[in-house]
Each structure stands twice: as C-alpha cells, then as structure tokens.
C-alpha cells in the first residue's frame, strides 16, 4: 500500500478495512508516497507512526493518565464522530503488531491491559486516572464507616461532557445506603463505573479489532504485565540512575546492610527481572524520559522508595504502586532477601505476604 505520511492514520484505516484478514496475516507491505523504500524497515516505521497517531490528542481517542507516560481510552471520545471505527482500527493495529511480532511505541494503563485480557479491574487501578479518588476508596476499605454519617448511596455523581449527572451503580442504587457490610461491593462498583462502564463502547470496539488477529483464548494465557512487554518491548533500565534516585523510610537508610544487599541483588538480576521489579513497585515497566528522577506517583513527582517492615519467617516484600513504595522486610542475610524478592516478582505477591 502506498501511503501519505501526513494522512497515514486515515489512509491506513481505509486500507486495513478494505483488505482481508487473511492477507494481513500473511504479511504487510508498506510504501510511503514519494519514497522508494519497501521492506521490513518501512513496516517498522509504519507501526511507529501509527502508534504515535493512535494517541494523538487531535483524534481524542486516548487520554494521558496521571503518571504522564501511560494512556487509556477517553470517556468523551465521541466528540470525534468516527471514534468507534478508529478504536476498532487501533485494536486491529495492536493485534497485527502482536501477530507480526512488531513492537508499538505506546504504554497503556494497567486497567486497559486488564480490559484487553478480560480481567476485572480493582480500586487500585483508579489511581492511574484519579489518585485522590483512589485514596478515598482505600480509606473507605481501611476504616469502619458505620458511625461516620457519610450518607453514601449506591449512586455517584459523574462528569458527562462537563455536566455532572447522578448515575446508579446498580438498579435502585440511589436508595441503597453504603454500610460497613456492603462497602467492598460499593468500592468495586465505583471502580467498574470509572474504569470500565464509562468507556465500555470504546473497549468493545477496540477488542473487536484486536480479536480479528489475536483470539481471546490466546491472549488470556498472559497477565497484564506480560502483555505490556509483549506489545511494547523490554525497556533498558539504568540501575545506577535508579539507585541515585531512591529514597528510604521507616528506619532504612542508604548505609543499612539490608539496603546494600538489595542493590547487590538488583545489580545481579536479569534485565527482565529488573523490569518485573519496576512493574511490581510502580505498576509500569516504563522509566520516564529523563530517568528515575522524574518518576510519577499518585500526587505528582514521587521517587522510588524502600520502606522497612519487621521481618518474620518467609515474609515476602509487598508494594504500594500509587506511591512507588517497596515494603522490604528486614531480612537477616543477602540470600534470604534475594530468594524472597524473586518469589514475589515471579509470583506477583499482590495482597499476599507469605509464600
């Protein structure tokens, strides 16, 4: 296909919709208007340009999340009348990239990878789009709300094109009070409204395109961390930059033996394991432009932080991704630390502290 670089998104969308899936699976040949080149390098460039175009704010399809480096569908994308066709096309492009083992230059929010995989979102995923709101949900879960007089019901006010509308979380929600007994259901339903229901047509259109090339049964073999690496590749991680831009709390400092062992272990990890550690603590495999000094948390710039936790036998490290914090038990020796850290990274000890 001969494409003009300036209208590549629209012309590629047209070409892909006219072509048969079987043809596209066999191979892609791209030539840019006025240029001689063909072959693998040009196809690579096509995927590069398209991945930048998919998140181009002019189309209004995707919106940048709070961390400034990841994207998720824009709940108000219907300002673009063609938005669902474009979401389907974006899904086809990512499906094709995966099918032909091409990497794309986009990182999505953790919740959007979950949507691609058909995995339910949880309240911690809210922190990527509204860190304050996520903290409020965490507070509701952590505290007894029986006598606080919050007067919450199973309906919430939400922004629809700049106007606030009351939306029930379930039938008759406005007359159901939130109590200590049903608060977990409330938090889950609020999360699903913010993260899924608000962008359900966009998700469905995207998946319709994506599943053209990658069937659900195949993609469900992966988790959201593996999917990010499959689509966007393995980033290079500079351990010295990481070490220079880390803070310590709850009793640890740079000179502490446990911290010395920790950095020895990080230096000995494979690049893939370092990415797993970064994902485990920050929720993303991506280091911001400029390095670890520019790592973002829920409330703005937030350095990578290691916090001390009293040691008990077999205790695994855990993390709080919205504040980029690794909760590292005070292990008695280097080998215990390495062993427990690797178990946590490879088994994903979210919410599990023992193994």
CB 303 within 8 A of CB 246: yes
Torsion angle of C-alpha atoms 46, 209, 129, 195, degrees rounded to 10: -170
Other residues' Cβ atoms within 10 Å of the Cβ of residue 219: 18
Which of 300, 345, 347 shows the shortest CA–CA distance to 323? 300
Active site residue 322: yes
Which of 50, 96, 54, 97 shows the shortest CA–CA distance to 77? 54
Which of 305, 350, 322, 295 shows the shortest CA–CA distance to 131? 322
- Separation CA 321–CA 205 (nearest Å): 29
Out of 4, 13, 322, 347, pick the active-site residue: 322
- Separation CA 164–CA 171 (nearest Å): 19
Distances (CA, A) of 214 to 92, 190, 295: 9, 30, 33
Torsion angle of C-alpha atoms 268, 273, 277, 282, degrees rounded to 10: 130
Which of 88, 10, 12 shows the shortest CA–CA distance to 45? 12
Supply the residues annotated as catalytic. Answer: 322
């Amino acid at each position: 296909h001969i494409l003009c670089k300036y209208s590549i998104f629209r012309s590629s969308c047209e070409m892909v919709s006219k072509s048969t899936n079987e043809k596209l699976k066999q191979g892609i040949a791209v030539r840019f208007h006025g240029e001689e080149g063909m072959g693998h390098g040009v196809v690579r460039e096509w995927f590069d340009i398209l991945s930048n175009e998919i998140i181009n704010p002019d189309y209004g399809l995707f919106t940048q999340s709070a961390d400034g480096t990841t994207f998720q569908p824009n709940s108000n994308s219907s300002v673009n009348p063609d938005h669902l066709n474009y979401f389907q096309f974006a899904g086809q492009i990512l499906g094709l990239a995966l099918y032909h083992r091409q990497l794309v230059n986009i990182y999505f929010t953790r919740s959007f990878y979950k949507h691609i995989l058909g995995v339910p979102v949880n309240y911690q995923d809210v922190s990527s789009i509204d860190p304050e709101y996520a903290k409020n949900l965490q507070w509701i879960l952590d505290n007894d709300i029986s006598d606080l007089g919050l007067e919450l019901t199973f309906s919430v006010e939400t922004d629809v094109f700049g106007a606030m509308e009351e939306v029930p979380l379930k039938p008759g929600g406005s007359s159901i009070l939130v109590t200590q007994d049903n608060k977990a259901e409330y938090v889950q339903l609020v999360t699903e409204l913010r993260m899924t229901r608000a962008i359900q047509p966009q998700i469905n259109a995207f998946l319709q395109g994506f599943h053209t090339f990658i069937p659900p049964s195949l993609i469900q073999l992966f988790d959201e961390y593996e999917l990010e690496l499959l689509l966007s590749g393995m980033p290079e991680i500079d351990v010295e930059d990481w070490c220079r831009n880390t803070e310590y709390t709850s009793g640890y400092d740079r000179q502490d033996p446990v911290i010395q062992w920790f950095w020895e272990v990080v230096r000995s990890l494979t690049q893939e394991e370092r990415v797993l550690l970064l994902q485990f603590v920050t929720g993303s495999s991506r280091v911001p432009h400029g390095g670890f000094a520019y790592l973002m948390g829920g409330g703005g710039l937030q350095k990578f932080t290691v916090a001390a936790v009293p040691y008990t036998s077999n205790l695994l490290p855990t993390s709080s991704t919205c504040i980029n914090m690794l909760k590292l038990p005070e292990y008695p020796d280097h080998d215990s630390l390495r062993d427990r850290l690797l178990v946590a990274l490879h088994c994903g000890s979210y919410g599990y502290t023992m193994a």
